[in-house]
Amino acid sequence: MIKSLEKHYKRLIILIEIILFIVLIVLAYNFTPSKKGTHTFYLPLSDINTTISTLQKNGYEMTAIDKWILGLKKIPDEGWYSIKPNKYGRIPFFYTFYKQKTDALMDVVVFAGETKDEVCGRLANDTKTDKQKLLNAYNDMTRFTEADIIAGRYTLARKANEKTAIHYLFMTSEKTLEGFKKEYFIKPLSESELKVIYIVASIIQKESNSLKEMPLISSVIYNRLEKNMRLQMDSTLNYGEYSHVIVTPERIKGDTSAFNTYKHKGLPPQPLGSVTLDALKAAAKPSPTEFLYFMLNEKGSHDFSANYTEHIANIKIFRAYLDEKKMKEEQKQEIQKQEDTNKTINILTPSFLGDTAIEIDWQKVKL
């Protein structure tokens, strides 16, 4: 009897020791500090593996137990998260991670044709962050120097830092790009082929925002390249600091860079600025034309032509329109100037008799 009790007692002691050991392990895990990482970040997919990898990329040390705890409650949704330290340890933190999703969001817009300097400058102003840090993050991630962020509207967390904000814009643009490539290309594009698409799209974007004209301008670019002709397009000189500067004959003569397609054959060395998805589509699928030229017309659109004779005729028509417009504007200014002069004279001429004038019979007036 005594031996039996002793046996049960030993088993009980062993069981208690095992339970205490497990409790100590759980407590040790729960209060094991993790490296402090980025507090605000974007979760691109709603699954455990993506959550773990996203946390790791943002500076947090993950364990197999963390992954298990995350799966106990609710899989976090895709979106922006702002993590707050949990004083009760790792278990409640990961168990309630899905509740850390933030609604402190803001919309930002990347406009078509903007350079990375312009994008980062406006983004810094809107988000109250540091422009240089944004540019540094952009340069660390860039593939094409410019145009990596597709023009459009994006939603950022207000507390996102510079690196996180740029990473999100790049990641979202890449997602859009993947959809575009699947739709327009059967075979995978090489990096150099993709760069060509981006450069052509950036030229199209500078030349016109018309969805109807974009594929036509694209055809002109490819047709001229195929014939080994210089592109001779003003838009290619709207690069970097000259992004929004009017291209003059003096500028064309003086610019010796590879962006000057009046002097150099082929495409510019890099995209000119951000592009829309529509411009990318036009660059990937130009209209089947023989056009080699296009010229602005009085309606604000372009006239396209397949030979130089037609192009010269279009130039003459537009110049005649400009001359007539200038003449009418000068006439209008002259009439306005005369009217302003008459008003000034009327204002300066005193009326001694007031509003009522008396007609005088000068024959009856004697000195």
Within a domain: 253: yes
DSSP 236-275: GG--GGGTTPPP-HHHHHH--STT-TTTS-S--SS--S--
Predicted local distance difference test score (pLDDT) of residue 162? 95
Predicted local distance difference test score (pLDDT) of residue 96? 83
Domain identity same for 177 and 282:
no
126's tokens: 């809107």
CA distance 310 to 157: 53
The pLDDT of residue 30 is above 70 = no
The pLDDT of residue 3 is above 70 = no
Can you say whether residue 181 is alpha, beta or left, with left for phi > 0 and alpha for psi between -120 and 50 degrees?
alpha
The pLDDT of residue 121 is above 50 = yes
Count the alpha carbons within 13 Å of 181 in the hemisphere toward its beta carbon: 16
Mean pLDDT of the chain: 85
Predicted local distance difference test score (pLDDT) of residue 338? 77
Average pLDDT over residues 250-261: 95
Give strand pairing partners of 81: 41, 101
223's tokens: 């047709």
CA distance 331 to 323: 12
**Of 100, 126, 141, which marks where a domain is finished?**
100
Domain hosting 81: range is 25-100
Q: Calculate the alpha carbon distances from 95 to 90, 98, 285 in Å.
A: 8, 8, 49
The pLDDT of residue 343 is above 80 = no
If you search the block for the tokens 């397949």, which residue do you land on?
306
Predicted local distance difference test score (pLDDT) of residue 366? 42
Within a domain: 10: no
Higher pLDDT: 88 or 118? It is 118
Domain identity same for 217 and 255:
yes
CA distance 318 to 52: 61
Predicted local distance difference test score (pLDDT) of residue 81? 92
Within a domain: 351: no
Predicted local distance difference test score (pLDDT) of residue 99? 87
Domain identity same for 202 and 304:
yes
User: Is residue 206 exposed (0-12), middle (13-18) or buried (19+ Cβ within 10 Å)?
Assistant: buried
| Reported confidence tier of residue 358, pLDDT bands at 50, 70, 90 | very low
**pLDDT tens profile 195-215:** 999 999 999 999 999 999 999
Within a domain: 325: no
**pLDDT tens profile 267-296:** 999 999 999 999 999 999 999 999 999 999
Predicted local distance difference test score (pLDDT) of residue 90? 77
Within a domain: 327: no
DSSP 40-84: EEEE-SSSHHHHHHHHHHTT----HHHHHHHTTS-PPPSEEEE--
Domain identity same for 219 and 305:
yes
Predicted local distance difference test score (pLDDT) of residue 124? 95
Q: Calculate the alpha carbon distances from 105 to 289, 334, 343 in Å.
A: 46, 54, 56
Portion of the chain with pLDDT greater than 70, in percent: 81
Domain identity same for 151 and 83:
no
| Reported confidence tier of residue 78, pLDDT bands at 50, 70, 90 | very high
Domain identity same for 210 and 296:
yes
Higher pLDDT: 9 or 169? It is 169
Q: Choose the weakest-confidence range: 30-44, 112-126, 346-360.
A: 346-360
Average pLDDT over residues 76-85: 88
Portion of the chain with pLDDT greater than 90, in percent: 60
Within a domain: 177: yes
**Of 155, 184, 213, which marks where a domain is finished?**
184
Domain identity same for 67 and 122:
no
Within a domain: 346: no
Domain identity same for 81 and 122:
no
Within a domain: 326: no
Domain identity same for 114 and 146:
yes
Domain identity same for 293 and 233:
yes
CA distance 190 to 269: 17
| Reported confidence tier of residue 357, pLDDT bands at 50, 70, 90 | very low
Domain count across the chain: 3
Average pLDDT over residues 121-125: 94
**Of 149, 184, 219, which marks where a domain is finished?**
184
Domain identity same for 80 and 37:
yes
Domain identity same for 208 and 262:
yes
Predicted local distance difference test score (pLDDT) of residue 20? 64
